[in-house]
Amino acid sequence: MSIDKLIANVIRADVRAIGAYVVPDASGYIKLDAMENPYELPEHLRTELGQRLADAVLNRYPTGSYATLKDKVKNKLGIPAGYDVMLGNGSDELIQIVTTTVANQERRASVLAPVPAFVMYSRSAQFAGADFVGVKLKPDFTLDMDAMLAAIALHRPAVVFLAYPNNPTGNLFAVEDIEAILQAQGEHGLVVLDEAYQPFARKTFMDRLGDFENLVVMRTVSKLGLAGIRLGYMTAAPALLDEFEKVRPPYNVNVLTQVAAEFVLEHVDVLDAQAASINAERERLSAELAALPGVEVFTSAANFISLRVPDAADVCAKLYDAKVLIRNLSKMHGMLANCIRVTVSTPEENSAFLNALKAALTPA
């Protein structure tokens, strides 16, 4: 038997044609490529959390309703009264649940998003058997509303994904543009506001759920400072959330994640203070980057900064040699030619990045 023939006969052609999502090894590097919170919990909280985890019941399945954790999410993270939440293994799983739920088997569904955007919108649509429609942003990374509304009218997408603020560009789309998209979708489709970076943007549509029955607000605790536990949550009109629940795998949030999240949400003020420190560093880092010759800095409301340099591949290679990991965005989309993205970190790591970047930009 030939393994190549077996794969050709069994594995979908569109899956064979793409590469896997690769996460590089960061051992020994200053890791500024994944939009993580660089701060750990204070020692006394880590000690208490360790005891909570030690007491976790690992030989039983999680409580299927996740009632205690859901209550803490709703009470601590600004969910409006009367709305429930769905939990996921990160927001990636929630994106997959949404696209799987709307992938109509009678007629092929469409999923629409402005591009460049988070890669999981298109991949989840592909794997669910839906068509992905990408609508280019304007050169300044704002929404091209004429193109967006025309695409909605033409394709009648089952769902429009909007990252707020956008990843990888970092900017917030105009509120009136988002409202226009919600109205254009109407009863024909959903709009998912992906607010992964809300702790830094301090802007939200969570309080607009009552205005738009087709609105889904999705978030994650990853950027807040809990990337390691993989917990996402989303909320929508109760009847909509009931439909998504039919697709959610049972026990999709593990016991250790549940225990850790319940504990840390009792101390969410610590994470909020860390986010405030990151925001202050974002302003300092943006200003210092903008002063560098040949560097174009894009406004960010997230915990990362995207910028354009003369030669992204060369800069990334030199930073890698200097033991600093960032993200080369050039291959993501033509609009991002020679763009790189850096996570805003501690003052010390931000300064180390700045020094390495200055050296990388200096002619030999």
Q: Do 145 and 292 reside in the same domain of the chain?
A: no
Say what the pLDDT of residue 90 is. Answer: 94
Does residue 209 sit within a domain?
yes
Biggest distance spanned by C-alpha atoms of the chain: 62
Summarised one tens digit per residue, pLDDT across range 39-88 is 999 999 999 999 999 999 999 999 878 999 999 999 999 999 999 999 99
Q: Is 50 contained in some domain?
A: no
- Within a domain: 361: no
- Residue 301 contacts residue 172 (beta carbons within 8 Å): yes
Q: Classify residue 362: in a domain, yes or no.
A: no
- Cross-strand bridge partners of residue 134: 113
Percent of the chain scored above 90 by pLDDT? 91
| pLDDT tens digits, one per residue of 119-160 | 999 999 999 999 999 999 999 999 999 999 999 999 999 999
CB atoms within 10 A of CB 266: 13
CA separation for the pair 335, 325 (Å, rounded): 22
362 secondary structure, DSSP code = S
Report yes or no on 215 lying in a domain. Answer: yes
Residue 351 is predicted with a pLDDT of 97
Task: Find the domain containing 13 and state its range.
Answer: 3-42+269-356
In this structure, the answer to whether residues 188 and 227 fall within a common structural domain is yes
DSSP 3-state helix, strand, coil percentages of the chain (rounded to 5)?
Answer: 45, 15, 40
Q: Are residues 74 and 181 in the same domain?
A: yes
Closest among 289, 355, 316, 332 to 136, alpha carbons compared: 332
Shared domain check, 188 and 103: yes
Tally the domains of the chain. 2
79 and 165 inside one domain: yes
* Pair of tokens at residue 255: 């016991």
pLDDT for residue 91: 96
Does residue 298 share a domain with residue 220? no
Q: What is the pTM of this model?
A: 0.94
In the chain, the amino acid numbered 203 is K
Is 53 within a domain? no
Q: What are phi and psi of 283, to 5 degrees?
A: -70, -40
- The domain boundary, picked from 266, 290, 324, lies at 266
- Asked if residue 228 is part of any domain, the answer here is yes
Same domain, 119 and 163: yes
Q: What CATH number corresponds to the domain at position 313?
A: 3.90.1150.10
Of 224, 244, 266, the residue at which a domain comes to its end is 266
Whether residues 335 and 279 share a domain: the answer is yes
Q: Please tell me the predicted confidence (pLDDT) of residue 22.
A: 80
Tokens of 50: 């360790």
Considering the domain architecture, whether residues 278 and 262 belong to the same structural domain is answered as no
Structure tokens at 280: 């202050």
Q: Are residues 187 and 295 in the same domain?
A: no
CA-wise closest residue to 185 among 159, 222, 147:
159
**Helix spans in 33-144 (H):** 43-54, 67-76, 90-102, 119-128
β-bridge partners, 325: 31
Is 363 part of a structural domain of the chain?
Answer: no
Mean pLDDT within 291-301: 96
Predicted pLDDT at 315: 97
Of 266, 292, 307, the domain-final residue: 266
Mean pLDDT score of the chain, rounded to an integer?
95
Contacts of residue 185, Cβ cutoff 8 Å, sequence gap at least 6: 152, 157, 160, 191, 214
Same domain, 235 and 99: yes
User: In angstroms, what CA-CA distances link 306 with 69, 337, 341, 360?
Assistant: 34, 12, 4, 17
Same structural domain, 192 and 133: yes
- pLDDT over 90 (residue 1): no
Q: What is the pLDDT of residues 102-112, one digit of tens each?
A: 998 777 899 99
